[in-house]
Amino acid sequence: MEIKLKKYSSTYIIEVVGDMDLYSSFELKNVVTKMLAKDIKNYVVDLAKVDYIDSSGIGVLIHIFSNIKKLNRILKISNVHGSVEKVIKLTKLSQYFPIVGSVKEALIQIEQAKKVQ
Amino acid sequence: MFEHKEIIIDDNNKLLNREGLFLKEFQSDFRQVRFFSMVIVQKAPPEIKEINLLEQQISELIKNAVKHGNNKDINKKVRIWAAFDTSFAHVIVEDEGEGFKQLEDWNEFNKKRSECFENQDFDAMEKYFAYRTDKSDENDGGNALFATLEYWDGGVVFNNKKNCIAVYKNFEKKKHGIDLNK
């Protein structure tokens, strides 16, 4: 698994590339934990290039979303597809996770949320 | 309508019958969990693999056996029996551990979790995202068995010792292709 970071305004786009499985998922948790410590406010986790997720990966998504929410920061998860979408449905978390269609949509929603704040 | 599923504990359940299933044995090497799953799944017809969903679901069962059952003790074996067809998948995974002692507690936890989801009670739901025991570590998602119970629609059964899980899934025969939106 590889993690690529891009910045757009005050939002960081975290592009995950590869499998989010029992051997690699913790890397995303570590990256987000460091970013939270650096006071980064808005996050998009883009899963366009993730075709496999297991319970460890789901656990990491729950962990980062819950920590980001606790600090009143914003997370969007984009481009959930294929079996990743199916596994999220099997765990019944589709309604809970802040899932949006695309990175563009995520950025628009974050901008709108910032205006309200 | 609220439908509650639970894991059955029954030595005599027909899903634990190994007749007609092939057997593979592995040492409890945690680094090879996904490889073991791929070895099993390569015997399945492509129609039921759903890209990698079948592999992922079997991988969770093997991971539980290797990590929680055998405590990653390389001298302990995991035995996997399986049979596949275009209309079903039947898998049994047995470890050499002491058994999943908290299984009844897990069923109770899952029941409460299902009720929260049914009522869309997101605040209460957060308590039920992960099932943890004193042996769980930070890399345990604690959510694998919830998906197991949803995915394996033909049943999820443990033996009375609780060191052996049997699962069954029905597949509809499809004319062509895989409908990922279904």
Task: Tell whether the model's pLDDT for residue A87 goes beyond 90.
Answer: yes
What average pLDDT is seen over chain B? 93
pLDDT value, residue B21: 98
Within 13 Å and on the Cβ side, how many CA atoms surround A91? 30
pLDDT score recorded for residue B103: 96
Residue B181 in this model has a pLDDT that exceeds 50: yes
Q: Which residues are CB-contacts of B123 (< 8 A; sequence separation ≥ 6)?
A: none
A51, B51 Cβ separation under 8 angstroms: yes
B101, pLDDT greater than 90: yes
Determine the pLDDT at residue B52.
97
Residue with tokens 């979303």: A65
CB within 8 Å: A83 and B141:
no
pLDDT cut 70: percent of chain B above it: 93
The predicted structure's pLDDT at residue B138: 85
From the list B151, B15, B9, B173, the residue with the least C-alpha distance to B85 is: B173
Does B111 map to a domain?
no
Residue B121 lies in a domain: no
Whether B54 is covered by a domain: the verdict is yes
- Share the mean pLDDT of chain A: 96
Beta strands A42-49 and B22-27 are unpaired
Average of pLDDT values for B46-61?
A: 97
Domains of chain A (ranges, CATH numbers) = 2-116 (3.30.750.24)
- Interchain contact, B51 vs A58, CB within 8 Å: no
pLDDT tens per residue, range B72-85: 999 999 999 999 99
pLDDT tens by residue, B110-148? 999 999 888 888 788 888 989 999 888 888 888 999 999
Can you give the residue range of the structural domain that contains B40?
8-99+152-170
Q: B72 in a domain, yes or no?
A: yes
- Residue B158: give its domain's CATH number: 3.30.565.10
pLDDT band at B1; cut points 50, 70, 90: very low
Q: Is A51 close to B51, i.e. CB distance below 8 A?
A: yes
pLDDT at B182: 55
SS3 annotation, chain B: CCCCCCCEECCCCHHHCCCCCEEEEEECCHHHHHHHHHHHHCCCCHHHCCCCHHHHHHHHHHHHHHHHHCCCCCCCEEEEEEEEECCEEEEEEECCCCCCCCHHHHHHHHHHHHHHHHCCCHHHHHHHCCCCCCCCCCCCCCCHHHHHHHHCCCEEEECCCCCEEEEEEECCCCCCCCCCCC
User: What confidence tier does B178 reach under pLDDT thresholds 50, 70, 90?
Assistant: low
Q: Which two tokens stand for residue A13?
A: 């786009």
CB B59 within 8 A of CB B66: no
Query: Residue A83 is nearest to which of B53, B117, B142, comparing CB atoms?
Result: B53
In a domain, B74, yes or no: yes
Taking residues B38-45, what's their average pLDDT?
98
What is the residue whose two structure tokens read 């079903």? Answer: B88
User: How many domains does chain B contain in total?
Assistant: 1
Residue B177: pLDDT over 70: no
Chain A residues inside the 8 Å CB shell of B144: 54-55
